[in-house]
A and B are shown apart, each in its own frame.
Chain A
């Protein structure tokens, strides 16, 4: 809320600078967005009086004005505003003046005529167009007679531009701070001052009319209306409101409209009580109903928009006809116009949730709805109405009908909260005394009964946010000052903080992939329908957002690879050709019978280009299947599984290259896959040859692990034998190793592949492979003979299994 410092001074003597006050508000109550003074940066802008206005001889729209600026002689100013006329009090920017945006005004010639300054519109000296009275939006501003301006004097104080405005950002719980009264109570509590509430009683009345003869009110939706009162002012002249009121509204960011509407806005700012004024003569039934209309009823609001109502929008009706959306916006039909003679003013409290839903649904967040949503002080519903009636009568030279109608009386409830000193100090960590607490309550004007160290606190209705001891604790804490709280750490029983095994494994996996040259990526969990279900490790139903904001983020991902490929594409498009990324995060699998998906931790990687970049000593080595397999194997090896990890060719993954893809098994369970992305998919993502893997980290976390123990290092030497084979191309390494192992004893320690060759000098469909077999007996020295015998057996087994030529 824009809080005027000048207005605040009407509540008490304030001897603090506005900036200091703002800082105090921020540290004690609510955040302050900014403190502004409209006159800051402006220079030499004064009141002028137009003595003579003549058309410019060389222009069809300019006028030559002789303006009294308080000097001996009038000055000549050429003005292009359509509304400039003789005998106006206007805003003049003199030669050397600074107007909005630091624009400098200089003497000049306009089409041959001397112009010694500029006659300004309000916008030109910094006013937001939204607050400028409509009649002055497209022209210069003209001071009304009751502004009593004097030519030559600076305009700032007349227009409230020397006021400091503290713009607060009110939290949802502090609806009371959407009123000047509320702010005055708050600042009074901060500075230990008692604000003077200048509420004006109804005096300008005509007691010859009975209001009940003029209007009836019927509340149909009783549960949604906490207070409903109306009053009537007759014989009103609709004119601009007094100058001081217009200035006050503009300072608060509200556009002056006419005396009636301005009064309702002024009262809203003062009390926090939104009011609505209807034109009585446009009510045909003279019977107000507060209730609902059938769904899809059309209703035109004040802003001229036709809206289709829902059956749950709370409405004000005249008989059957809708005349306002309760608490949100009035109707065009019954608005106050220059012809209005009799005014009905409504002061009410509506259900905050109802108002909130209507305002949200129709996207109509008004100053009124905002206040109703956060609550309204039930103690001042009547006072606000009465002051509004009084001001309307005064400013419109009319008479209020003596009594107002009350269909639902407001019930200002005072809440009692019990609290004791031990509790206060226990929660805040402070050492406050009974006196300290009662002092704070006194500043808040909460009456307090003390019995020993127990307090019974009566909270006035104007602080409807306070109900329970925790609410009072907050009041004490903030007024005592957060800076004054001690700074300690929790004591009490010791707890051990450590990562769970899963968390450790996940961190370990991240470190291995980083150590292998992959950068950690973070992608979006919500993706497109197509990408969500690519590269699936298992079948799953998709999980959709009910109302996505865009189709790009509509479905929960069921794989990480597609996100990484987007990242690869992003980099490649920007000429970054070596991209190695991994991501660790959740995928969302769902079965058809439940709405909520199962969240599974995955880890995936994507590499394109080269891991070892080109340098002065080596050529760039493009990444291939085996390099990625090395990384994946390292990752899996580190986990020390009980069961064996194996890589099995899978030609059937639709997004993967059919000849360069392996499923990764742990025992007989598929825990992931790796390989090259299908060239067709690469094309679709606009990426070059890219290798990817995705692992179900959850399965890995849950898989049984070996308990690590020390393996004594054998004292006995190892003996090796090399063998080179010519064998069918389609026989895999796994097949060969299995055959070599099939007839071997535990003496065969390792089988290491050291060469694979296809091509020149090798028959077609054949390959040459070479292995080193390492033999060792952990408890004896093996003899050459023993080794030869075992080696021959292994080769024999191989020959028996495959057609093979030993070279």
Chain B
């Protein structure tokens, strides 16, 4: 057998062995076996000296090709084997992706807080300040400064917890407005404020009454404030809180500290205005009280009603939350049942 044939035979044999190496160690052994210093290829090449000089380049070329073929085959096989190993490893690492994630403990803001924050953020964006006042007020600020002198019939509408004859639990957040108006320096610009907070009424707690609840009131005082501005502001508020499809309508009402006084209805979120039991088949739900600040209120706060005027509005986040989420008992807001508190996702 000539060298040529030997080389071809070696190649066939080697390729066969390589393709049958079923793990990396075996492949390595095959490599050392064939290509190593003591391997058959080296052995064959040693026989080069015995062939005629003229034939040597040809045989050399052939032997190189055989070596390349074998090396190539080994590398190919190696990458096949490695890939298989990796695949096996990955297969072993498979997990059940449907198992629940590790809980990250995260508390929720109270639903009423969410509504208040929402309103605060809207009005901050429109250049309003947020001002909180005392919860224990004087009769003067809670009533008298708001055009509710002693014995005014409208005081019945908000029966009050008194501490002494002159000191009481505020029955509305409006005294904050009276206090702020009194202090505000109008030469420095308009007053635009909202006052969120807790208020108290002499009511027996039941599904729809609570002796404690929340209010957010707003006030704007400047030289050129119109009732149209009030309407536009309430519309903006309704759209922020409920959505763009919600409309606002105004109806006459009565509050001692505003005139004209209006009640603002918003499209019923249950039926979107078609009429249902929630809205007593009117398509509207009453959510806000508002009006143009009464000149007496301005006067009492030391603001000249001939020069300045403005609007005020107020709403109850508790009632809002009840309507918005269908909560049927106001006491739920103050029981702090964790199963209740955690229902109101912030993005809802």
Contacts and interface: CB of A to CB of B under 8 A. Distances in A.
Interface of A: 26-31, 34, 171-174, 352-353, 356-357, 360, 373-374, 426-430, 468-471, 473-474, 477-478, 482-483, 485-500, 503, 507, 510, 513-526, 543-549, 553, 556, 564, 567, 570-571, 574, 576, 578-582, 585-586, 588, 595-597, 599, 611-613, 615-618
Interface in B60-82: none
A497 B198 contact: no
B11 interface: no
Contacts of A426: 224, 226
Contacts of B142: none
A375 to B, nearest CB: 10
Nearest to B164: A595
B193 to A, nearest CB: 9
B277 interface: no
Contacts of B206: none
Given A474-B261, A490-B192, A523 B226 contact: no
Interface string B136-154: 1010000000000001011
Contacts of B118: none
B320 interface: no
A316 B33 CA distance: 132
B43 to A, nearest CB: 58
B128 A515 contact: no
Interface stretch (B18-26, B48-56, B334-342): B334-342
A564 to B, nearest CB: 8
Interface residues of B, number: 87
Contacts of A31: 251, 253, 263
B270 interface: no
Contacts of B37: none
B338 A522 contact: no
Interface string B271-283: 0000000001000
Contact of A499 (B106, B130, B198): B130
A149 B166 CA distance: 63
Contact of B108 (A496, A514, A526, A567): A514
B211 interface: yes
Interface in B136-190: 136, 138, 151, 153-154, 156-157, 161-164, 166-167, 169, 189-190
B242 to A, nearest CB: 17
Given A486-B226, A495-B127, A585-B198, 20 more contacts: A26-B251, A477-B227, A482-B250, A483-B250, A486-B231, A488-B232, A495-B128, A495-B190, A520-B113, A524-B211, A526-B211, A546-B162, A546-B163, A547-B162, A571-B336, A574-B337, A588-B136, A595-B166, A596-B136, A613-B103
A507 B125 CA distance: 17
24 contacts: A426-B226, A470-B260, A473-B260, A478-B260, A482-B249, A486-B232, A492-B224, A493-B190, A495-B190, A499-B120, A510-B109, A518-B107, A519-B110, A520-B109, A521-B336, A522-B333, A525-B135, A545-B162, A549-B203, A549-B204, A581-B336, A582-B107, A612-B105, A613-B105
Contact of A616 (B100, B157, B294): B100
Contacts of B156: 356, 360
A611 B105 contact: yes
B232 A487 contact: yes
Contacts of A174: 254
Interface in B223-275: 223-229, 231-233, 235-236, 249-254, 259-263
Contact of A516 (B107, B151, B162, B335): B107
B99 interface: yes
Main SS class of interface, B: mixed
CB-based closest 3 A-B pairs: A429-B228, A429-B226, A517-B105
A521 B123 contact: no
A343 B302 CA distance: 55
Contacts of B249: 27, 482-483
Contacts of B169: 525-526, 545
B339 A576 contact: yes
Interface string B284-296: 0000000010110
A376 B110 CA distance: 48
B126 A353 contact: no
Contacts of A556: 136
B224 A430 contact: no
A499 B194 CA distance: 11
Contacts of B151: 353, 356-357
Given A356-B153, A492-B223, A576-B337, A545 B163 contact: yes
B202 interface: yes
Contacts of B99: 616
Contacts of B232: 486-489
Contacts of B251: 26-27, 31, 482
Contacts of B231: 482, 485-488
B309 interface: yes
A549 B202 contact: yes
B300 to A, nearest CB: 14
Nearest to B132: A503
A485 B254 contact: no
A352 B153 contact: yes
Interface of B: 99-100, 102-103, 105-110, 112-113, 117, 120, 123-130, 134-136, 138, 151, 153-154, 156-157, 161-164, 166-167, 169, 189-190, 192, 198, 200, 202-204, 211-212, 220, 222-229, 231-233, 235-236, 249-254, 259-263, 280, 292, 294-295, 309, 333-339, 341-342
A482 B250 CA distance: 6
A497 B129 contact: yes
B124 to A, nearest CB: 4
Contacts of A518: 107
Given A352-B153, A427-B227, A525-B135, A489 B252 contact: no
A290 B192 CA distance: 52
A131 B157 CA distance: 28
A402 B184 CA distance: 64
Nearest to A29: B252
Given A574-B337, A576-B338, A615 B227 contact: no
A489 B198 contact: no
Contacts of A30: 252
Given A373-B153, A493-B189, A470 B259 contact: yes
Nearest to A546: B162
A518 B109 CA distance: 9
Nearest to A578: B338
B259 A490 contact: no
B170 to A, nearest CB: 11
B228 A488 contact: yes
A464 B232 CA distance: 32
A462 B231 CA distance: 31
Contacts of A357: 151
B127 A497 contact: yes
Given A497-B123, A596-B136, A477 B260 contact: yes
A449 B252 CA distance: 26
A494 B188 CA distance: 11
Nearest to A590: B136
Given A545-B162, A615-B103, A490 B190 contact: yes
A597 B167 CA distance: 10
Nearest to B310: A490
A612 B212 CA distance: 33
B163 A544 contact: yes
A543 to B, nearest CB: 6
Contact of A490 (B134, B222, B250, B252): B222
Contacts of B167: 595-596
Nearest to B197: A586
Contact of A570 (B100, B117, B166, B337): B337
A39 to B, nearest CB: 19
B245 to A, nearest CB: 16
B154 A172 contact: yes
B161 to A, nearest CB: 5
A516 B334 contact: no
Contacts of A468: 295
